[in-house]
Amino acid sequence: MDLVARSGVLPQPGETVLGGEFAMIPGGKGANQAIAAARAGAATRLLGAIGSDAFGVTLKARIDAAGVDTALVRVVYGASGVALITVDDAGENTIVVAPGANAAFTDLTEPERAAIADADVLVAQLEIPVETVTAAARAARAAGTRVVLNAAPARSLPADLLDAVDLLVVNETEADAITGERRPEPLLAVVPRAVVTLGPAGAWYVDRDGASAQVPGVRVDTVDSTAAGDAFTGALAVAWAEGREIVDAVGWACAAGAACARTLGASTALPRRAEIDELWSVSRGPGRAS
């Protein structure tokens, strides 16, 4: 659950600032990216855990309403995951995540492994234990399911996880945590394909076949960038699963991230396919179909 406060400026350590609007919005990277993928046009199933608290009830209802299959989502006794978010007038944010039930998602059941094997693409994040992410990625690799890893929050990653990743999605800070550099090329030492997101400036794609493309961002009036990265990752996975050329898929994902940033909130801001298509078409100029 995202607890979001607006503030003119982000507080510095030890500083208290007077805020403005407050909102309580269902979120979480896994849920956000599942909803983003569903709204972008994919049949989507979520594997994860929610708490037995009131937040858990609300979270599941929101995910269900977005058309995501939650049949395998676990309910764990105790608190659901919570994110404490401050958003300033420029749309920038700071986020602290208290994992709650996410920390209890420590293994995979046979039905969960079967769901991974049945998928075209597995999308994973790092708000659950990295051991579980590794197990899921290796199960996907064994079944021929492509693996998209959004390595956020930033942390060091085990080699056996990276060996199972087909496409790594990180921002510049996360890239630096993995390789010590903010550029994408060093990531090719550990994964075959990588995208480094650059905020409003777009994204940079590289792969081991020699491709390198800086994809420009889509200009919008930014209200809140909180879930823009999740919109990007979910849309990228959908476009790649549909067989789009990867650089085109990255551009379409940039449009999804930009569309998301126009609205306050996380899951509430994630765009639908028609909205992504419209923004992507406009950004490419007159006479060019999406």
Answer yes or no: is 197 a known binding residue. yes
Are 188 and 165 in contact, with CB atoms under 8 Å apart? no
Annotated binding residue at 47? no
279 marked as part of a ligand binding site: no
Residue 199 marked as a ligand binder: yes
Q: Could you give the CA distance from residue 117 to residue 145 in angstroms, rounded to a whole number?
A: 6
Look up 230 and say whether it is catalytic.
yes
254 is in an annotated binding site: no
Q: Residue 265, annotated ligand binder?
A: yes
β-partners of residue 69 are: 45
Ligand-binding annotation for 86, yes or no, is: no
Question: Which residue in the list 166, 207, 230, 277 is annotated as catalytic?
Answer: 230
56 known ligand binder:
no
The answer to whether the annotation marks 44 as part of a ligand binding site is: no
Contact between 148 and 169 (Cβ < 8 Å): yes
The answer to whether the CB of 246 falls within 8 A of the CB of 205 is yes
Q: Does 60 carry a binding-site annotation? A: no
- Burial (CB count <10 Å: 0-12, 13-18, 19+), residue 208: exposed
Give the bridge partners for 97, in sequence order.
Answer: 83
Q: Is 217 annotated as a binding residue?
A: no
Q: Is 20 annotated as a binding-site member?
A: no
Q: Cβ neighbours of residue 213 under 8 Å, at least 6 residues apart?
A: 204, 205, 206, 247, 250
Q: Which residue ranges are tagged as binding site?
A: 28-32, 127, 171, 197-202, 224, 226, 229-230, 260, 263, 265
Q: Which residues are known binding-site members for K(+)?
A: 224, 226, 260, 263, 265
Q: Pick out the residues of the known binding site for ATP.
A: 171, 197-202, 229-230
Binding-site residues for substrate: 28-32, 127, 230
Residues known to be catalytic: 230
